Amino acid sequence: MEPDRELMERVREGDMEALEQLIMRWRSRAEAYAAGILRDAHLAEDCVQEAFARLYAARKEYNPQYAFSTYLYVILRRICISELRRLRRSPKLIKTEELSEWPVDSAEAEYLTRWERGSRLMQVAALSKPDRRLLLGQALSGKTAKELAQEMCMTPGQVRIRLHRIRRRLRKGEES
């Protein structure tokens, strides 16, 4: 069995067989390492594939003075950290098993959904025109407090306070 450094030297020269040997030798350990960071075996598998692809792409930069395992694990750790950041930023999908037992397709569920939507629309319609303009400008148009403040001749602080009070009134209306 060839040492990892020698295999990596062959990989630097473009030897794909040497890369396959490294992958076969290190894949399971790398997947275990990534799964420990990510807590997801499938995601860890994807990250390990990405790590080996990057390793091959940057093969000319490998310094044989350092252990191959160090080189691989540094690349893999960086990929895992990037993946965790990406997951934190993106919305989490709900698994089917986590959904409540309420039959979503039933007529009762559809009626309740429409009733709640109608109730919310009635609450918004009952707001004063300036309050409705603030709420809809922020919620539907995605305007910032600064933009709304300019339109409404207010300060951004006043806009934020007013939006907070509007939302609080709407929540109290839902509870009663």
pTM of the entire predicted model: 0.52
Interatomic CA distance for residues 65 and 67, integer angstroms: 7
Show the tokens assigned to 87: 């997951």
Show the tokens assigned to 102: 């309420």
Examine the fold and report which residue of 89, 113, 134 is the final residue of a domain before the chain moves on. Answer: 89
As to burial, measured by CB atoms within 10 angstroms (0-12 exposed, 13-18 middle, 19+ buried), residue 54 is: middle
Same domain, 61 and 15: yes
> Which pLDDT tens digit goes with each residue over 18-75?
999 999 999 999 999 999 999 999 999 999 999 999 999 999 998 888 899 999 999 9
Name the pLDDT band for 135 (thresholds 50, 70, 90).
Answer: confident
Interatomic CA distance for residues 134 and 169, integer angstroms: 14
116 inside domain: no
Which residue would you say has higher pLDDT here, 20 or 173? 20
Domain that holds residue 170: 122-176
Interatomic CA distance for residues 115 and 126, integer angstroms: 16
Examine the fold and report which residue of 48, 74, 89 is the final residue of a domain before the chain moves on. Answer: 89
Q: Kindly state the percentage of the chain with pLDDT values over 70.
A: 86
CATH of the domain at 39: 1.10.1740.10
Residue 155 has pLDDT above 70, yes or no: yes
Q: State how many domains the chain has.
A: 2
Whether 62 and 8 have beta carbons less than 8 Å apart is answered as yes
Residues 6+ apart with CB under 8 A from 32: 44
CATH of the domain at 173: 1.10.10.10
Whether 62 and 71 have beta carbons less than 8 Å apart is answered as yes
Show the tokens assigned to 167: 């939302």
Average pLDDT for residues 148-167, to the nearest whole number?
A: 91
115 inside domain: no
99 inside domain: no
Which residue would you say has higher pLDDT here, 78 or 88? 78
Examine the fold and report which residue of 89, 114, 144 is the final residue of a domain before the chain moves on. Answer: 89
Same domain, 10 and 82: yes
61 inside domain: yes
